Structure 1
């Protein structure tokens, strides 16, 4: 794995993000793209962020800019006689108001997505949670991308015939345009079980036993095997696919692309096989190159050996015009293509038609998912637990008390100080689930549910279900399941030892940050390179450490620390309960009895109720019921009731913002400035 020299790109003039309200990108030191014989651009877990990040300069480019960028890189590949392939590994929906607030949902998403020429594409789990979104793949995404869409282990009920069939073809073989590289490609999803009834995900361990798969990997007339999918690159599923394919092809290069974990990561299987994962939310454009591939076109006629010196290189590109202009060799004038501009205009038009700049209130401070410890005044979960939930949720009867439980994985993004818009509400909480409740649960059991949910043990393990980890945000799942070295729970003062006491040394799980424009100079022109006697200060952002080292990010950032969070948080309604000792997120090794008996009560309200309603977001109902069963209380889904006729938590949150952070002086579009 070669390392490329750093360059410092100076300030340039006239570059504006395609979406008018997005901040200008900021000058920073850059690493060059490591071009090779075969090159890739990779996106994953876009979650509807087609307009880019409108509060974060590092990720402010939109889908139209990406279209222009890809066009310039394709032109370079053609000029050099190399090849460029675009890959997307799913979860294109849910997580942004362009998708989540449109009626029908996806009204704009499918039209925007198909404007990019993606060579290999597949489904993620979010496309499958609901029958209508899976049908959206069937009716829109699959035909839009034709034979570029692969579904190696995913079937659907054809909504017109009622019959079960593969969502798309299982695999494909193709030859690259310029190098003539023969590629055998497969497109997978992880062993997901939370899909609706109209789709079927076959376990990878069963798929590799299928006759079609066995026959496909027998093909020796291939120069590269490419496995892409909505799968963590360090997962058991990919480990199995690697070993199965390697058994059939001992020396053929194998390239993996992954997703689902919302992180930047790069994994080396062996000297001829690697995997790339490229972040989330259009923050990252993954670049991958391979050199040294021996093809039939380049085979030495004097030998039958296919031995080669392979070189794999990766780069995680910050999604902003500063990076794009430099890596494409363009400037503010020459970079935009007409196609890209048209798509940017379409995104802007969609945003305007959905009134996404409508302001519900002004957040008085930043509230972070992971960049502050929990509890903390700037932890979004402390805000939910101490303010929003107890002030929003009402008991079904004034005489009744309640405990409200939410999983942290239901909160998807930070709240930044300033305007809380229609856009913001869906960035933070894109899901449609409401609040359910169980009536009159004995308090002796109810008060212990949160401990069971947070410490896993008998509850999550009893499900024998990887989806149990969905209680957490995806990047925390990635660390907990496959990267245990990223956690350090040593009891110490985090201000003295910044990688301890529940803090995540995220490395490959870094999440990036917003740039406050008052302290940085905006980008001016990305065509002329001028020497800078005083380089600008490093801005905080991704500082990725992966199997190849720490030189993967294209932009050199100051690092950010991130903190562990519990699976779930809890708020009380109508009373002030005593706290339960050990109800945090740390594991307990004292054995099963400790999950209950170790939960000693500390001083609190002496008039604790005999019974309470347990209220929870619908997504976690299965685990709440399991916890109660473990505690000797038998409840089923039939015993649950919907709070306020199923009103979504997203709307509950928005109502609270309007009532507590609301602004009075707004224009007809609901737009107004917030105090700086």
Structure 2
């Protein structure tokens, strides 16, 4: 009997995997389960639920099946997750047709589950992407949404909402549901995007749940069918569990196997093998260097072991600034007098994703985990130091509605380069990543309308800069020994 709080309807949840299909066994060994292990876990749970109520076990009620479903709630790769699931508020820009199904009825042995998919009100998607994101407030008032609620036959509602579990839009959707069908129907929100574990009972028959990030969590929720809700106090029928993505936790502690290997299924093992072979084929396991220590992306810029401080003080000066004479943008834009001007960069706090660990020899995949977006570095022009400093201060102003999760750990933008604001005549070549370029360009044009602000791409990309730094300055020099897990560890650590 699996050690989980089962109900009429059960959901296994992954969210915000961001390509961590192979797990974290190298960086954080506790999280050693990969997607194949999760598949094995799911298949074992499904076998249990399918058999529940069918046998002669006196401890199990007869003819009362348990239904179980598996959901991945978006952001499967490093982008927005729009290609991973159909959202009720995603449309093709040309045809105005929704991308995927607006809703779907999931059928189990025991229930019919009305399922919606929503994305938060995204405003910063690429303008030429060919899609339109409609505001949730508008969508829940549309005829198709109301008709699905009042005309379909179902036993509960599942909302896959790629937004924080207490985002105001969750309440918008909940209120729209309740205004159409009343209070008795169980509703569960599976949320994501904000990368943490959380759960909240919003009302007697409504729960919202978020299951971590990056394959660190296997979430589990259970809830009743409407016919099982027999009183106004039904919160006890809603349960959840956060399981570490760890083989022992999944197979031994939860499923009850004496060895983790005993819980691995044929499909699960084949998927794990395929993931590993694919990583090998793509060159992601290529060893490229040895880090002198670990660096963490949630640490303040000036703190010991800050990933941001490393990039500001070491990576950009040694790799990017030193190579500026080879940049096409400089050659096209600079006059002879500007060839030797100093350089500066404005780096968004959204540039990096993960920590850089030194518990094993660094491989290419470790660097991609830090910098998965591979943004192009762009040249914005040459500007006096006082303009750049003022632009940095302006970009770092917070206003109502801003996400203050990182405050005061990190500013919105980090200034790279030593500016001399006392010398108003000295100009600097200014750079940023292309993702933020239009935003920075608007600020510069507002602050310095007489300056020439033109976005020009360089041949440098963010992941490439990290790779070049590690290969050049963090050589292992052959002084590595095995750590017993098939990876190498520097003798100097």
Q: Distance in 2 between matches of 1:320 and 1:383?
A: 31
- The reply on whether 1:617 has 2:433 as its aligned counterpart is yes
Deviation at 1:358, TM superposition (A): 1.2
Residues paired across the two proteins, number: 451
Q: Distance in 1 between matches of 2:231 and 2:196?
A: 34
Q: Distance in 1 between matches of 2:426 and 2:397?
A: 25
Q: Distance in 1 between matches of 2:372 and 2:216?
A: 18
Deviation at 1:322, TM superposition (A): 1.1
Q: Distance in 1 between matches of 2:269 and 2:467?
A: 33
Deviation at 1:181, TM superposition (A): 2.5
Change beyond 3 A, Cα 1:636–1:269: farther
Q: Distance in 2 between matches of 1:666 and 1:47?
A: 33
| Structure 1: runs of 5+ lacking an equivalent | 1-30, 95-124, 129-136, 142-148, 300-304, 470-476, 481-486, 488-501, 503-563, 579-600
Contact 2:187 2:206 in 1 (8 A): yes
* Equivalent residue in structure 1 for 2:475, among 642, 662, 671: 662
Contact 1:401 1:613 in 2 (8 A): yes
Matches for 1:200-211 after TM superposition, within 5 Å: 200-211=132-143
Q: Distance in 2 between matches of 1:416 and 1:75?
A: 38
Contact 2:3 2:255 in 1 (8 A): no
Contact 2:377 2:432 in 1 (8 A): yes
Contact 2:92 2:98 in 1 (8 A): yes
- The reply on whether 1:87 has 2:13 as its aligned counterpart is no
- The reply on whether 1:156 has 2:92 as its aligned counterpart is yes
Tell me the SS of whatever aligns to 2:36. helix
Q: Distance in 2 between matches of 1:388 and 1:219?
A: 59
Change beyond 3 A, Cα 1:207–1:69: same
Contact 1:449 1:627 in 2 (8 A): yes
Q: Distance in 1 between matches of 2:260 and 2:140?
A: 48
Q: Distance in 2 between matches of 1:443 and 1:618?
A: 21
Q: Which residue of 1 aligns with 2:119?
A: 189
Matches for 1:409-424 after TM superposition, within 5 Å: 409-417=350-358, 418-424=360-366
Q: Deviations over 1:200-251 (max 9, x none)?
A: 2211111112111121122474321211132222222212101111112222
Q: Which residue of 2 aligns with 1:402?
A: 343
Tell me the SS of whatever aligns to 1:426. helix
Deviation at 1:412, TM superposition (A): 0.4
Q: Deviations over 1:455-482 (max 9, x none)?
A: 234xxx7xxxx8xx6xxxxxxx4836xx
Q: Distance in 1 between matches of 2:163 and 2:450?
A: 36
Tell me the SS of whatever aligns to 2:19. coil
Deviation at 1:271, TM superposition (A): 1.4
Contact 1:171 1:187 in 2 (8 A): yes
Change beyond 3 A, Cα 1:420–1:209: same
Q: Deviations over 1:16-56 (max 9, x none)?
A: xxxxxxxxxxxxxxx95322222111111111111101221
Deviation at 1:257, TM superposition (A): 0.5
Contact 2:91 2:131 in 1 (8 A): yes
Contact 1:628 1:634 in 2 (8 A): no
Matches for 1:438-457 after TM superposition, within 5 Å: 438-457=380-399
Contact 2:384 2:424 in 1 (8 A): no
Deviation at 1:443, TM superposition (A): 2.3
Contact 1:577 1:608 in 2 (8 A): no
Q: Which residue of 1 aligns with 2:242?
A: 316
Q: Distance in 2 between matches of 1:247 and 1:266?
A: 23
Q: Distance in 1 between matches of 2:388 and 2:234?
A: 61
* Equivalent residue in structure 2 for 1:437, among 373, 376, 379: 379
Q: Distance in 2 between matches of 1:313 and 1:635?
A: 59
Contact 1:666 1:672 in 2 (8 A): no
Contact 1:401 1:609 in 2 (8 A): no
* Equivalent residue in structure 1 for 2:312, among 385, 392, 395: 385
Q: Deviations over 1:356-392 (max 9, x none)?
A: 221221110110011x333112010111111111222
Q: Deviations over 1:543-595 (max 9, x none)?
A: xxxxxxxxxxxxxxxxxxxxx222121111xxx435xxxxxxxxxxxxxxxxx
- The reply on whether 1:650 has 2:463 as its aligned counterpart is yes
Q: Which residue of 2 aligns with 1:270?
A: 203
Q: TM-score, normalization: structure 2?
A: 0.84
Tell me the SS of whatever aligns to 1:425. helix
RMSD: 2.6
Contact 2:14 2:73 in 1 (8 A): yes
Contact 2:112 2:155 in 1 (8 A): yes
Q: TM-score, normalization: structure 1?
A: 0.63
Q: Deviations over 1:596-632 (max 9, x none)?
A: xxxxx7xxxx656532222111111132123224424
Q: Which residue of 1 aligns with 2:105?
A: 173
Contact 1:155 1:167 in 2 (8 A): yes
Contact 2:361 2:490 in 1 (8 A): yes
- The reply on whether 1:569 has 2:382 as its aligned counterpart is no
Contact 1:153 1:201 in 2 (8 A): yes
Contact 1:151 1:168 in 2 (8 A): yes
Matches for 1:84-483 after TM superposition, within 5 Å: 84-94=68-78, 126-128=80-82, 137=83, 150-156=86-92, 163-177=95-109, 180-193=110-123, 194-195=125-126, 196-219=128-151, 221-248=153-180, 249-291=182-224, 293-295=225-227, 309-310=234-235, 311-325=237-251, 326-330=253-257, 331-370=259-298, 372-394=299-321, 395=324, 396=330, 398-417=339-358, 418-457=360-399, 477=403, 479=405
Q: Deviations over 1:115-167 (max 9, x none)?
A: xxxxxxxxxx5245xxxxxxxx4xxx6xxxxxxx543111236xxxx744222
Q: Using CA pairs under 8 Å that are at least 6 residues apart, name the structure with larger relative contact order, 1 or 2.
A: 1
Q: Which residue of 2 aligns with 1:43?
A: 14
Q: Distance in 2 between matches of 1:186 and 1:359?
A: 43
* Equivalent residue in structure 1 for 2:456, among 641, 658, 661: 641
Q: Which residue of 1 aligns with 2:57?
A: none
Tell me the SS of whatever aligns to 1:245. helix
Tell me the SS of whatever aligns to 1:626. helix
Q: Which residue of 2 aligns with 1:627?
A: 443
Change beyond 3 A, Cα 1:319–1:636: farther
Tell me the SS of whatever aligns to 1:363. coil
Q: Distance in 1 between matches of 2:219 and 2:404?
A: 18
Matches for 1:444-593 after TM superposition, within 5 Å: 444-457=386-399, 477=403, 479=405, 502=408, 564-572=409-417, 576-578=418-420
